[in-house]
Chains A and B, each alone.
Chain A
Amino acid sequence: MDRTLPTPTPETQHFWDGCKAGELRLQRCTECSKAYFPPRPFCPVCGSRDVEVFKASGKGVLWSYVINHRPRPDMGDAPHSIAVVQLDEGPRMMTNIVDCPQTPEALKLDMPVQVKFTSFGEIALPLFQPAGA
């Protein structure tokens, strides 16, 4: 079964284009300078429409997660992490932690992680792996 994938919208296209190009793209407000996610063409803090897209470092830490023991058909049979990472730039995002055992022992909160783009046809998803992996 094919992986459940996002359908980009005009406001989010730059993000998904970035993933395909190997860049994690966030936005920030040029008035209050705050970085934000998910994408939208105005600042969710002050309402300004004066915002810009920038390339994020792709680095962060593991903020919280579960190990799902009832996976969806498109995610295979093995238990897998559903995680939230805290990006160095401030925003948090949901992801999967990959390239390490899917166990509480291997998945430690606050461990450094880095983005790893994985392609599924036309979409590349920003997954994360332990830093230095």
Chain B
Amino acid sequence: MKRNSVAVVGAAETTEMGRIPDMSVIQLHADAALNALADAGLKPSDIDGVATAGASPTEVAYYLGITPTYADGTSVGGCSFMLHVRHAAAAINEGLCNTVLITHGESGRSRVGAGGFRGGGGNSSLAGQFEAPYGPVGPPSMFTIPVLRYMKTFGVTEEDLAMVAVVQREWAAKNPRASFKEPITVDDVLDSRMIAWPFRMLMCCLVTDGGGALILTSAERAKDFPQKPVYVLGTGESVETPMVSQMEDFTSSRAFRVSGKKAFEEAGIKHDDVDHLMIYDAFAHLPLYGLEDLGFCKPGEAAAFTNERNTAIGGKLPLNTNGGGLSYMHSGMYGMYAMQESVRQLRGIAPAQVPNAKISIAHGVGGMFAASGTIVFSNERG
């Protein structure tokens, strides 16, 4: 922490105190936040960083109408907000964001809307009230909801979606640790069991067990370690909404766009500089959205880009070279494995090694297009 580099410019509590039976938990967050914004002379649109515990920063940002480039959901109990201040100071100093809002709200006595986002009070959360009653059963029937609009807008077909899975199986065939290695065809994908039309089983990720870990230190110190260092060249993050039905645009993820743009800016690279790409593929449409929202393709052109084998073995943009969530593994929070493959590629030890890869991007999604994180890695300190 750099001394005296960051200051508090707004502070307020909720309008009422004690017993507040007329406000739910999320509204207690918002009431305090609106009062703090008024105290600072700011509007929600002036905020680009959100930190909270108990509720999710995605829900707080969405509820208040904030588009952040920094979201901290560190939740370690009652001192979480001290950690948020410390992390916010680092984030501001590092240029991740300029103005951070830290919120707290708890209906400790009245228990109104308690539990928050997917918590114990789930039926009173936003998603619990305005999505859950209509029958979604986890990601396969939620993450997929925007896709028919994407397909109609850009003339993308079921065969195009299937091709994403086919190409990734080709990569998986080169990876001894991949769960599925047998080649598949577009027909195999379209003949597989229907999960949630237009999604078949082979367009959906695996469900497996596994884990991963990363260790980071300063670039200065990294050269003293036994392994070839993989440097962090740039980073991005954002959140949009805890409700897939409330995405601003069903053909594009705002969280992807904001996160990707920030990562490219921080890294100071162009798209042509990228040798290797990982896009979190919980479902077959995610690489298509990712290729477009990160700017590798224009809107609507990712399916043709994939059909032309640009992301396949020998293509100009090797994508999901471990086989991805569709064929390698998917334990539930796959982002860790995307970064593991980026590190392997930049160390030069991947099973399907991209020759001479110098820059790799790992782009992840959280929830159903709710959140996003983008990391640009390099094996050259530059």
Which positions in A face B, CB cutoff 8 Å?
3-12, 37-38, 40-47, 49, 63-72, 74-75, 79-80, 82-84, 92-96, 104, 109-110, 123, 125
CB pairs A–B below 8 angstroms (16 shown): A9-B124, A10-B22, A11-B23, A44-B63, A46-B44, A63-B149, A64-B148, A66-B141, A67-B196, A68-B196, A72-B137, A75-B135, A79-B194, A82-B142, A96-B135, A109-B148
Contact of A64 among B123, B129, B136, B147 (CB under 8 A): B147
Contact check, A8 vs B129: say whether CB atoms are below 8 A apart: yes
Interface residues on B, range: 35 or more
Please determine whether B141 and A68 come into contact, CB atoms closer than 8 angstroms.
yes
Given A6-B123, A11-B27, A64-B149, A70-B65 contact (CB < 8 Å): no
Minimum CB–CB distance for A67 against chain B, Å: 4
Q: Kindly report which residue of chain A lies nearest to residue B200, judged by CB atoms.
A: A69
Cα–Cα distance between A65 and B134 once the two chains are bound (Å): 11
How would you classify the secondary structure of chain A's contact residues: helix, strand, loop or mixed? loop
**Other 19 A-B pairs with CB < 8 A, given A10-B23, A47-B44, A71-B137:** A4-B133, A9-B27, A9-B113, A9-B129, A10-B22, A11-B26, A38-B130, A44-B63, A47-B34, A64-B146, A66-B198, A67-B197, A70-B140, A70-B195, A80-B135, A82-B141, A92-B246, A109-B149, A109-B152
In the complex, the answer to whether A70 meets B27 with C-beta atoms within 8 Å is no
Across the interface, name the chain B residue whose C-beta is closest to A12: B129
CA distance A41 to B149 in the complex (A): 31
Residues of chain A with a CB closer than 8 A to B243's CB: 38, 94
> How far is B337's CA from A113's CA once the two chains are assembled, in angstroms?
43
Top 6 A-B pairs, shortest CB-CB distance:
A44-B65, A6-B129, A9-B24, A94-B245, A67-B197, A64-B149
Q: Does B30 sit within 8 A of A, measured CB to CB?
A: yes
Contact check, A6 vs B132: say whether CB atoms are below 8 A apart: yes
Q: Are B34 and A49 in contact (CB under 8 A)?
A: yes
Contact (Cβ within 8 A) A63 B250: yes
Complex CA gap A38/B141 in Å reads: 21
Q: Give the Cβ gap from B153 to chain A, nearest Cβ, in Å.
A: 9
- In contact, B145 and A6 (Cβ under 8 angstroms): no
Minimal beta-carbon separation of A60 from chain B (angstroms): 13
Nearest B residue to A84, CB-CB:
B245
B135 near A7 (CB under 8 angstroms)?
Answer: no
Q: Which of B113, B130, B196 meets A69, CB within 8 Å?
A: B196
B194 surroundings in chain A (CB, below 8 A): 69, 79
Question: Do the beta carbons of B196 and A70 come within 8 Å of each other?
Answer: yes
Residues of chain B contacted by A12 (CB below 8 angstroms): 129
B348 adjacent to chain A (CB < 8 Å): no
Known contacts being A44-B64, A68-B141, is A9 close to B246, with CB within 8 Å? no
> Nearest residue in B to A5 (C-beta to C-beta)?
B133
B43 interface neighbour in A40, A46, A94, A96, Cβ under 8 Å: A46
The reply to whether the CB of B144 lies closer than 8 angstroms to some CB of chain A is yes
A41 contacts B43, C-beta separation under 8 Å: no
What residues of chain B lie closer than 8 Å to A65, measured between beta carbons? 145, 148
* Contact partners of B141 in chain A: CB under 8 A: 66, 68, 70, 82
Please state if A82 and B129 are interface contacts (CB–CB under 8 Å): no
B125 to chain A, nearest CB (A): 9
Q: From residue B34, how far is it (CB to closest CB) to chain A in Å?
A: 6
Query: Does B21 lie at the interface of the complex (its beta carbon under 8 Å from any beta carbon of A)?
Result: yes
Q: A44-B63, A47-B37 are in contact. Are A9 and B136 (CB under 8 A)?
A: no
- Decide yes or no: A125 and B133 within 8 Å by CB, A65-B145, A66-B141, A66-B199 being known contacts: yes
